[in-house]
Amino acid sequence: MNAPATTAAVTLRPATEADAGAVADVHPRSYDAALPTVRRAHSDDADDGVRNFRD
């Protein structure tokens, strides 16, 4: 039996305005990785809405 893998501690927190760029970058990359044969209905410009989101 293999030894269990070690992982670093993860801290979860609510996203802030400063995280908007990173969040907007993750969405299209994760979509493309999960559904490589599906064409997105909106261009990458649609993710700018997340990047520019304000409460």
What is the share, in percent, of the chain residues with pLDDT greater than 90?
9
Domain boundaries, the chain: 17-51
**Range from 18-22, 25-29, 51-55 carrying the lowest mean pLDDT:** 51-55
What is the predicted pLDDT for the residue at 23?
Answer: 83
Residues 2-37, buried b or exposed e (16+ Cβ, 10 A)? eeeeeeeeeeeeeeeeeebeeebeeeeeeeeeeeee
What is the predicted pLDDT for the residue at 27?
Answer: 80
